[in-house]
Amino acid sequence: MSEQTRFILNESDLPRQWYNILADSPVAPAAVLHPQTLQPVTPEFLSVLFPMELIQQEISSERYIDIPEEVREIYKLWRPTPLIRARRLEKALGTPAHIYFKYEGASPSGSHKPNTAVPQAFYNKRAGVKAMTTETGAGQWGSALSMACNFFDLDLEVYMVRVSYDLKPYRRVLMQSFGAQVFASPTDRTDSGRAILAQQPDSPGSLGIAISEAVEVAATSHGTKKYGLGSVLNHVLMHQSVIGEEALKQMDMAGEYPDVVIGCVGGGSNFGGIAFPFLRENLNHGQHTRLLAVEPAATPSLTKGVYAFDFGDTAKLSPVLKMYTLGHDFIPPQIHAGGLRYHGMAPSLSALYDAGLIQAVAVHQLATFEAAIQFARAEGILPAPESAHAIRAAIDEALDAKEKGEKRVILFNLSGHGHFDMASYQSYLGGELQDYAYPASAVQAAMASLPAVV
Ligand SMILES: *Cc1c(COP(=O)(O)O)cnc(C)c1O
């Protein structure tokens, strides 16, 4: 076992291929359906939204897909990211467990999201697309795609959830600095936005609404604009596999192997990114690592949602996916400051969870911010509130190991830093946050509006 604290790979260790879990998953995700006909979508339908190379990746069953050199060159601006042993946190907890974290906050925009933003912009550019549209909640995805579109000389329209647009002005300025146009969603620029505003002029917006707007703009652009999604889809989770592939090498440098791999889940991309390469080792090479997805009690898609076909967006424009869902009309509770607000979950991850190959836990926001502060004081990094969910679970694992007197090796993904989340930390430190658990009755009520797939 290594005495080192940081495990740093060379540029030459940067993965050359992405890993596709669909090649090894014993449970195939269900077909993707057309939102009107509820029949399986054709590549032609998807091609209104995405360039063909990304559609091919989306439906591919190849185990590995080559990362284009142009993408690897840009990855080198921040990859390989460090793997760090949280020795000071271990000491603070008095635990015999070893805690490692992969630090994706080292990317220029501060999270794992550029790992997929860069290839998405690249494939759009290569297909001759001139502009992209997207949505953003807290602003991490919008920032990442703004950076990537700027690198490849593409215009970008970002539909930013209204409440974040108002409360998080600095992420908006970051996007504008990269040259993106940012709109507070719901806007009056789209039918979907106008329909919401007619019902509720002061709508705070939601990711589901913002996706509808971005999809509508791309779908009605006569091929000039395409849409990019920052999570959920197979190709997005595949692009994130660079996290887990690097972590496997780095754990090897550390002379240890994780008993448990932990990640927070919104749509599932950073968790899939770190966990799926370890799941491959479980499935194909006899390892027994537990894979633990952590979600907020306020948006508990896996632990309280229903595994069903649902729309990906509020206006029912985007494809219908079989996933764990809280219902496409879900509006996150205002008192929830901790991010991870999407109503659904990646279909590939949903299928694996349903099959029992992945575990999930929901954590409350006060305990999550408490873990974030404890981590920051020990390790010096203020985490994104999203990532703090993974930290909460990692600390709970370490405390459980302490109680049982076990040496446990814990690896978690630190999906981003929290330097643009000061308003959330201010609320927490000011004692303004409360715990909130999304009620099961609200999930039940939302099920009435699921698509009637036979
Ligand atoms: C977007 C984001 C998440 C949640 O998205 P996933 O697709 O579930 O990874 C988590 N952490 C950070 C820092 C993010 O920006």
Q: How far, in Å, are 215, 235, 258, 275, 453 from residue 40 at the CA level?
A: 19, 18, 39, 28, 11
Q: Is 65 exposed, middle or buried (0-12, 13-18, 19+ CB in 10 A)?
A: buried
Rounded distance, CA 338 to CA 206, Å?
14
Mean pLDDT of the chain: 95
Would you state the pLDDT for residue 353?
98
Would you state the pLDDT for residue 194?
98
Would you state the pLDDT for residue 174?
97
Per-residue pLDDT averaged across 431-447, rounded? 91
Return the ligand 1 atom nearest residue 140 CA. 15
Quote the ligand 1 centre to 45 CA distance (angstroms): 27
Name the nearest CA neighbour of 312 among 47, 57, 34, 84.
Answer: 34
Name the nearest CA neighbour of 81 among 110, 106, 113, 111.
Answer: 106
pLDDT in tens, 253-281: 999 999 999 999 999 999 999 999 999 99
Confidence of residue 295 (pLDDT cuts 50, 70, 90): very high
Per-residue pLDDT averaged across 2-31, rounded? 96
Quote the ligand 1 centre to 341 CA distance (angstroms): 10
Residue 439: pLDDT over 80: yes
Rounded distance, CA 152 to CA 68, Å?
14
Task: Judge if the beta carbon of residue 264 lies within 6 A of ligand 1.
Answer: yes
Confidence of residue 422 (pLDDT cuts 50, 70, 90): very high
> Which residue lies with its CA nearest to atom 15 of ligand 1?
140
In contact, 105 and 415? CB cutoff 8 Å: yes
Task: Judge if the beta carbon of residue 136 lies within 6 A of ligand 1.
Answer: no
Quote the ligand 1 centre to 414 CA distance (angstroms): 10
**Pairing, β 320-325 against β 359-363:** unpaired
Task: Judge if the beta carbon of residue 111 lies within 6 A of ligand 1.
Answer: yes
Separation of CA 35 from chain center: 23
> What CATH number has the domain spanning 6-13+68-110+235-447?
3.40.50.1100
Quote the ligand 1 centre to 265 CA distance (angstroms): 7
Per-residue pLDDT averaged across 32-45, rounded? 92
Quote the ligand 1 centre to 104 CA distance (angstroms): 10
Phi, psi of 351 (to 5 degrees): -65, -40
Quote the ligand 1 centre to 355 CA distance (angstroms): 23
Quote the ligand 1 centre to 385 CA distance (angstroms): 10
Q: Which residue has the higher pLDDT, 28 or 310?
A: 310
Per-residue pLDDT averaged across 210-235, rounded? 96
Quote the ligand 1 centre to 231 CA distance (angstroms): 8
Q: Which of 340, 349, 389 has most ligand 1 atoms within 8 Å of its beta carbon, as the pocket-test mutant?
A: 340
Task: Judge if the beta carbon of residue 381 lies within 6 A of ligand 1.
Answer: no
Task: Judge if the beta carbon of residue 266 lies within 6 A of ligand 1.
Answer: yes
- Write 173-179 long-range contacts (CB < 8 A, 24+): 174/109, 174/139, 174/143, 174/146, 174/420, 175/136, 175/139, 175/142, 175/143, 175/146, 178/143, 178/146, 178/147, 178/149, 178/150, 179/146, 179/149, 179/150, 179/155
Residues in the chain: 454
Task: Judge if the beta carbon of residue 107 lies within 6 A of ligand 1.
Answer: no
Task: Judge if the beta carbon of residue 384 lies within 6 A of ligand 1.
Answer: yes
Return the ligand 1 atom nearest residue 265 CA. 8
Name the nearest CA neighbour of 296 among 245, 364, 242.
Answer: 364
Return the ligand 1 atom nearest residue 340 CA. 4
In contact, 197 and 209? CB cutoff 8 Å: no
> Which residue lies with its CA nearest to atom 13 of ligand 1?
416
